[in-house]
Chain A
Amino acid sequence: MQASPPSLAAHDLACRRGERLLFRRLSFALEAGAACHVTGANGAGKTTLIRAVAGLYTPYAGVVERSGALALLDERPGLDPDQPLGRALAFWFGVDGFADAQAVMARLRLTALAEVPVRYLSTGQKKRAALARVLGQAAQIWLLDEPLSGLDAFSQAMVSALVSEHCAGGGIALIASHQPLDVPGMTAFAIEDFAPSPAEEEA
């Protein structure tokens, strides 16, 4: 899997939602082992940035360059609500060719929930299940959109630990969150720094 070192970069990225320009001239470059924390108020454009980097949203201007597989965690777990958690996760583990489901589920304290249909899970439990899906994907680049929302203190610390491990192993993580994470060597930028000035907004 880990053939060539991954990289992720954005050049002069601009995105808008409807008529509103969210940010412009946003550039960053992340090499193997780098973690980057994007901060910003609700509605500032963090989710849009993550989706643009993932290739799921066409930016208004600019380009995203990446090498390496992507894993995305956002507010939608991507797990069938009617299925028991174990089977819903098994689908993605099967697609990703991941064998060690037991270990990942134990690590994220999901083993006891394996028989519970996904729709009965709490917000935090769903978030942990989505994290299990990301871990099983074994992708080099992680895009995490609000990974801490809905999680208790113990699970929040675990997310920081997982990201640290991922980056120590040569992975890249781009994390959009308004909550602090404890990851050594993590860089950060605020998306508001790239918000258009009122004069630009007029134009």
Chain B
Amino acid sequence: MIAALLRRDLAQFFPFAGGGAALPVVFFVAVAMLYPFAVGPDANLMAKTGGGVVWIAALLAAILPLEKLVARDIELGFFDQLKLRGMAEEAMMTVRLIAHWLSFGPPLVLATFPAAALLKIEGETFQILLLGLLAGTPGLAAIGLMIAALTASLRAGAALSGLLLIPLALPILIFGAGALARQDQVSLGFVAAISLALVALAPFAAGAAIRAAREN
């Protein structure tokens, strides 16, 4: 049942795979494309600030898929049907978290290659950026899932989730972008640790949220 659900969730959310949304990746690359036009073609300035721009783009791209992440399946009665078959909400949300990250983390990391080329990010900075995004996107996915589940039963949920994600994602942004400024890998350890804690917490928080949403 878990494997079937994961396949189904991936088919729903994976970009370019039938109905999935490629929008976050397109948005991410678009920001990297526009930035040189806005600040001018100064290679030094871009190399210095480009990493931070990539991080901000990644954070904002993480907001885009949240609207459909949980609310639609509550409306469909999809989670109710899984519940009747004995599946715990925590298991449903664990699968959803994996599918959500797979459909937005790796594509974003791949999109960092063209984005970094556009922003003249090279060498060790590029490596740290790549590793940082790899470590940080699971945390962003976990925050996104918790927020999507919490706001699923609210009418203005989509607008609210954007506002809620930004402060919660700040620690990841600070350490992730901070690693670029100082060119150190210790901050990346912090990013990974924050991500790990969020990933461990998210299925329980999101599971409790959809259980509560069912009662009203």
List residues of chain A with CB under 8 Å of any chain B CB: 54-58, 70-72, 74, 76-83, 91-92, 94-96, 133, 137
Contact = CB atoms under 8 A, between A and B. Distances in A.
Closest 10 pairs (CB-CB, A-B): A76-B77, A78-B81, A78-B77, A82-B19, A70-B84, A94-B4, A78-B78, A95-B4, A95-B1, A91-B8
Nearest to A57: B215
A76 B19 contact: no
Contacts of B84: 54-56, 70-72
Interface of B is mostly: helix
Given A70-B84, A95-B85, A76 B75 contact: yes
Given A56-B214, A57-B214, A57-B215, A78 B1 contact: no
A60 to B, nearest CB: 11
Contacts of A77: 76-77
Nearest to A75: B77
Interface in B15-48: 18-19
Interface of B: 1, 4-5, 8, 12, 18-19, 75-78, 80-81, 83-85, 214-215
B86 to A, nearest CB: 8
B1 A80 contact: no
Residue of A58, A76, A95 most packed against chain B (CB within 10 A) = A95
Nearest to B12: A80
Contacts of B19: 82-83
Contacts of A57: 214-215
8 contacts: A54-B84, A58-B215, A71-B84, A76-B75, A80-B8, A95-B1, A95-B5, A95-B85
Contacts of B12: 80
A92 B80 contact: no
Nearest to B74: A76
Contacts of A96: 85
Contacts of B1: 95
Contacts of A81: 76
Contacts of B77: 74, 76-78
Contacts of A92: 81
Contacts of B214: 56-57
Contacts of B215: 57-58
B76 A91 contact: no
A183 B214 CA distance: 32
Given A76-B76, A91-B4, A137-B85, 20 more contacts: A54-B80, A54-B84, A55-B83, A55-B84, A56-B84, A70-B84, A71-B84, A72-B80, A72-B81, A76-B75, A77-B76, A78-B77, A78-B78, A78-B80, A81-B76, A91-B8, A94-B4, A95-B1, A95-B5, A133-B81
